[in-house]
Amino acid sequence: MESTNIAREHSTGKSSNFGAAQNDLGPRVDSLREESSLHPIHLIGLVRFRGLCLLAFTLFLLSGPVPKHSDLIAAVLGFSLLSLLVVNSATTLLFGFLVRRTITIRVFHKPKKASGSLVGGDFFAHEDVTVSLAVGDGLLPPFYVLKISLIFDHPLEANVFQISGSIASQRFLLQNLRFPHRGVWNLIGYRIRLEDQLGLSRFSWDVALAPEDTSRFVCHPPAISQVDIPIMSSEMQSGDVQSEIAERKGDPFDLKRYHPSDGMKRILWKVYAKTGELISRHPERALMPEGDLLLYVVADEYDDDLAGTAIAYARQLEREQIRLWAACDGLSTAVPIANSAEKLEEYLIESVWASGHLSVAKSLAEISRLSERQTSRSASADPNRVVIFAPNKLVGNSLGSSYLLSIGQKLSQGGARPYFIITWKQAAADQTKKTELSPNAEFSPSMQSDFAAICARNGWGFILTESASARW
């Protein structure tokens, strides 16, 4: 799709009956009546490359063989081609103004598949979204085609809607769009091109939506049902550890000699077949933390899997009735601290365009805000643990590793213990994609090992976990 800068202008709407389309195609996003006084016209590209080549050939005939050799055939051919170009360009210009004055466009969208718990027209990243363009009331001449491109406030490669034939009545065009990452993508206008099928001329113009008519495509990070990360809190209190065997409620991973009270189901029969000794499983001691947790997420636009993992972990904290105080990279200091998984997801979506800039000072300021908010709402002591989610590509290069280590050192000096949760995707373990978080740097497994060793020496928490998206 061609890029363009469009000033947002007000436009009026023309009433049409699109009720049936709304029922079938999801929520209505915007409606538009195109007025000639509102939208700029691109006349520079009126004659296309093929037309320019034909014009150059025509000028060659009329300036060369015709006057020099009195070539009658060249004269007839040259003047015929020149007439064709003039008539074609004039026709394109005339019908372009007519179509521009009369055409109406409406846009609908919905996920191609059901989006689980999402409401309205929201959808997940890397998920096909069906966009329907309702076009009507235009006067499209024969041998002409109308091409319509969607223009968003951020670069996006989108298919071009193409229509030919009559549009006196409503015509519906369907295309599947796939947004590359989470975020709020605003549809701010259209680029419309009227082209003749010979490829000689083109009339194009831009349609800018007014601010109140701007369409919002809300793209969520992938949904993850559960993550294998231990439940933690920022302060440990008495009663957190269930030490009695009778009260154990953890997973059945511990082994002991069989006791008749264990029951037959807990016996490891394969072990008995090899050794002749009865061994049974019993639950490990369950850690039942209470209180609050400070959570900070470092995720740029390419870290949707990390964002989904952090949101899933926040939901697990809510199920365990642990209060959450969360923030993320790129978040404005003017917005309140997130105190729920739903709010954290909202911030991860809205702040994606400002994320990806490594700033220790800004990150520490956000973590400080979390701490102040937590201590103002809790009667417990100052938090002694801060959980930080970060992608594997950070610990695998010098810039990202230095950023995280600097945060860890500052937190340690303030009496808090950083706990780094690093996520990685098996399909992209080489981390060759360069972003602002890792400019001009390749992923290095040795640097990851060095980072883990530094965390161990300083007594910081470190977990390397594979992201498991339910929708990728």
- Residue 247: pLDDT above 70? no
pLDDT band at 309 (very low <50, low <70, confident <90, very high): very high
Kindly report the pTM of this predicted structure: 0.71
pLDDT, the chain, mean: 76
- The C-alpha angle 353, 386, 416, rounded to 5 degrees, equals 130
Q: Per the structure block, which two tokens stand in for 25?
A: 């195609």
- Return the H-helix or E-strand segment holding 183: strand 183-196
Q: In this structure, how many other beta carbons lie within 10 angstroms of the beta carbon of residue 86?
A: 11
For domain 292-466, the question of CATH label 1.20.58 is answered with: no
Domain ranges across the chain:
19-220, 248-282, 292-466
Complete DSSP assignment for 385-413: EEEEEEEHHHHTSHHHHHHHHHHHHHHHH
Residues 74-84: tens digit of each pLDDT: 899 999 999 99
Residues 409-425: tens digit of each pLDDT: 998 888 888 999 998 86
Written as one letter, the residue type at 432 is: T
Residues 118-156: tens digit of each pLDDT: 544 678 888 888 888 888 777 788 889 999 998 888 888
Residues 312-370: tens digit of each pLDDT: 999 999 988 888 889 998 888 788 889 899 999 999 999 998 888 888 888 888 888 88
The alpha carbon dihedral of 317, 319, 321, 327 has a sign of positive
Residue with tokens 């538009």: 32
Q: Per the structure block, which two tokens stand in for 298?
A: 């470092």
Residue 215 pLDDT: 79
Q: Per the structure block, which two tokens stand in for 184?
A: 């709020």
| Three-state secondary structure call for residue 462 | strand
pLDDT band at 289 (very low <50, low <70, confident <90, very high): low
Q: Per the structure block, which two tokens stand in for 43?
A: 């006349």
